[in-house]
Structure 1
């Protein structure tokens, strides 16, 4: 039975699934971290009195998102 399983062409694909899920999780984590860092940078610029247009240019956040951050803090 084990020999049959080892010969199956799908075995490699099945064995790679946990790795692909782990890699996907890492990518999601990196993206979340990047978004958090950008928002923290925007908040720091808000606290220093930077204009919405300037913050949008530097962070690539929309002006609406920046205004939302201003309202929340």
Structure 2
């Protein structure tokens, strides 16, 4: 549970830094996202979630990374 909360906090840091450094760019991006069809957003979200789970699994199960 500690790892999950740490990952959640790091995601918040990364997102916060992006909004702090590029506020106008994020506003433009949000406008562009609104014009995308919901099906595309759903598929993109599923692909991103799958890639995240696969990446976390690879990192956790890899013998190359010393704990």
Q: How would you bin the TM-score normalised by the shorter chain? A: 0.3 to 0.5
Q: TM-score, normalization: structure 1?
A: 0.38
Larger Rg: 1 or 2? 1
TM-score by length of 2: 0.41
